[in-house]
């Protein structure tokens, strides 16, 4: 298949430092992801990522803090009360979270993420976060992955020693979740206004999602000026309604990773994919997550015994894609970490 002229023009536009527009992104997604032309798009995204990061990849460790029959009822999530996977609530102790964070740092994690369900108490999240911050090296970035925030809670997260927060307008937001896109976008704003970096991703993509919706999410996320973007596929939770749609292939996911990378232009360092895979790295993903504790794509409350991969497995995948794994703190989360200050209980 000959590379269509408008696709070649889009690649050239990005190389020239300009951002592709909505029409450019639609043209990229019109390409069959198994075509030779799509392969050239993935190659262009890979080289863009390598240049932005100096061919260095990062491994983040995400520690799930709790399981809960969450009332937000995101239908793709194993924690959703409506899905009936976890019918009782339980959580890791502060000591367990600290132990996992310190061990992950020693094993080479470039940043540590703490993830709670949408109903995890903010006062508890701040308490755990402050204690983890106290035990990590000052240069190790700490990132929050929690529910929607207001200005007060966002500032408290910042004061507790976090430098960034992960948030996304999900695929099917308001249809497959109990949360509106407007609420997510409001959280984007308060994260940035609190002085936190925003990390995001086009997720969770299933076979039924249209190119129009994918382009919409890419542009919403780009407008928020994140410190990283990328793409993640939906993992079907057995027995749930969305499981009937199945799962997109790693090749399709890799192509979406490439399009997301090109969409953000050459200045963005971070581009992620999840779950970790070599094809994604070959298409421009230079961020993976290793996972411990509960995981919204897993029915095992200790995902390190289920779907979750460890740092060593992520390192091996990046080596297969011929990336060098960064030693030391993240290049993506670059803000120096101050000592956590006392935080009033929410």
What confidence tens digit (pLDDT) does each residue in 28-62 have? 999 999 999 999 999 999 999 999 999 999 999 99
Q: So what's the pLDDT on residue 34?
A: 96
- Residue 336 in any domain: the answer is no
> What percentage of the chain exceeds 90 in pLDDT?
95
Would you say how long the chain is, in residues?
Answer: 346
Is the pLDDT at 271 greater than 60? The verdict is yes
- Residue 330 in any domain: the answer is no
Q: So what's the pLDDT on residue 2?
A: 75
- Residue 345 in any domain: the answer is no
pTM above threshold 0.85: yes
At 54-111, the pLDDT tens digits run 999 999 999 999 999 999 999 999 999 999 999 999 999 999 999 999 999 999 999 9
- What is the mean predicted confidence (pLDDT) over 136-165? 97
* Domain total in the chain: 1
Is the pLDDT at 334 greater than 50? The verdict is yes
Provide the token pair at 344: 């009033």
C-alpha to C-alpha distance for 136 and 96, rounded to whole angstroms: 14
At 214-251, the pLDDT tens digits run 999 999 999 999 999 999 999 999 999 999 999 999 99
Measured CA to CA in angstroms, residue 39 lies from 51, 105, 135, 139, 258 at distances of 18, 36, 44, 38, 10
- Residue 341 in any domain: the answer is no
Q: So what's the pLDDT on residue 3?
A: 83
Provide the token pair at 299: 């029915």
Provide the token pair at 124: 């508890």
- What is the mean predicted confidence (pLDDT) over 183-200? 98
Q: How confident is the model at residue 341 (pLDDT cuts 50, 70, 90)?
A: very low
- Residue 343 in any domain: the answer is no
Q: So what's the pLDDT on residue 1?
A: 64
C-alpha to C-alpha distance for 114 and 103, rounded to whole angstroms: 14
- Residue 22 in any domain: the answer is yes
Residue (of 8, 25, 5) closest to 263 by Cα position: 25
CATH of the domain at 97: 3.20.20.70
- What is the mean predicted confidence (pLDDT) over 181-187? 98
Q: So what's the pLDDT on residue 346?
A: 35
Q: So what's the pLDDT on residue 117?
A: 97
Is the pLDDT at 344 greater than 60? The verdict is no
Q: So what's the pLDDT on residue 310?
A: 98
* Residue-averaged pLDDT of the chain: 95
- Cα within 13 Å of Cα(306), Cβ side: 15
C-alpha to C-alpha distance for 228 and 91, rounded to whole angstroms: 29
SS3 sequence, the chain? CCCCHHHHHHHHHHHCCCCCCHHHHHHHHHCCCCCHHHHHHHHHHHHHHHHHHCCEEEEEEEEECEECCECCCCCCCCCEHHHCCCCCCEECCHHHHHHHHHHHHHCCCCEEEEECCCCCCHHHHHHHHHHHHHHCCCCCCEEEECCCCCHHHHHHHHHCCCCEEECCCCCCCCCCCCCCHHHHHHHHHHHHHCCCEEECCEEEECCCCCHHHHHHHHHHHHHCCCCEEEEEECCCCCCCHHHHHCCCCHHHHHHHHHHHHHHCCCCCCEEEEECCCHHHHHCCCCEEEEEECCCCCCCCCCHHHCCCCCHHHHHHHHHHCCCEECCCCCCCCCCCCCCCCCCCCC
- Residue 332 in any domain: the answer is no
Asked if 73 contacts 82 with a C-beta cutoff of 8 angstroms, the reply is yes
C-alpha to C-alpha distance for 285 and 229, rounded to whole angstroms: 9
- What is the mean predicted confidence (pLDDT) over 135-152? 97
- Residue 190 in any domain: the answer is yes
Is the pLDDT at 116 greater than 60? The verdict is yes
C-alpha to C-alpha distance for 257 and 164, rounded to whole angstroms: 22
Domain that holds residue 138: 5-325
320: number of Cβ within 10 Å = 12
Q: So what's the pLDDT on residue 335?
A: 61
Q: Which neighbouring-strand residues pair with 287?
A: 58, 272
At 11-22, the pLDDT tens digits run 999 999 999 999
At 313-328, the pLDDT tens digits run 999 999 999 999 999 9
């Amino acid at each position: 298949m000959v590379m269509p002229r408008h696709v070649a023009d889009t690649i050239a536009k990005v190389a020239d430092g300009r951002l592709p527009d909505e029409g450019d992104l639609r043209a990229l997604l019109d390409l069959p992801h198994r075509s030779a032309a799509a392969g050239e798009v993935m190659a262009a995204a890979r080289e863009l990522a390598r240049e932005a990061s100096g061919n260095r990849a990062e491994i983040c460790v995400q520690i799930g803090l709790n399981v809960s029959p969450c009332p937000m009822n995101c239908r793709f999530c194993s924690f959703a009360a409506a899905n009936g996977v976890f019918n009782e609530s339980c959580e890791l102790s502060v000591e367990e979270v600290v132990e996992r964070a310190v061990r992950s740092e020693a094993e080479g994690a470039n940043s540590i993420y703490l993830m709670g369900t949408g109903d995890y108490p903010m006062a508890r999240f701040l308490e755990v976060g402050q204690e983890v911050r106290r035990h990590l090296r000052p240069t190790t970035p700490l990132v929050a992955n929690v529910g929607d925030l207001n200005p007060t809670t966002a500032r408290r997260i910042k004061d507790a020693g976090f430098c960034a927060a992960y948030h996304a307008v999900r695929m099917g937001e308001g249809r497959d979740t109990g949360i509106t896109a407007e609420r997510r976008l409001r959280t984007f704003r308060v994260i940035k206004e609190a002085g936190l970096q925003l990390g995001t991703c086009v997720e969770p993509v299933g076979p039924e999602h249209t190119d129009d919706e994918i382009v919409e999410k890419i542009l919403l996320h780009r407008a928020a000026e994140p410190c990283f973007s990328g793409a993640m596929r939906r993992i079907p939770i057995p027995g749930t309604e969305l499981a009937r749609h199945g799962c997109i292939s790693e090749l399709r996911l890799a192509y979406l990773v490439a399009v997301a990378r090109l969409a953000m232009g050459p200045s963005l360092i971070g581009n992620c994919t999840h779950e970790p895979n070599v094809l994604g790295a070959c298409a421009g993903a230079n961020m993976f997550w290793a996972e411990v504790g509960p995981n919204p794509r897993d029915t095992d409350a200790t995902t390190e015994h289920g779907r979750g991969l460890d740092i060593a497995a992520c390192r091996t995948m990046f080596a297969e894609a011929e990336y060098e794994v960064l030693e030391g703190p993240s290049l993506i989360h670059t803000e120096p970490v101050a000592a956590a200050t006392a935080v009033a209980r929410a």
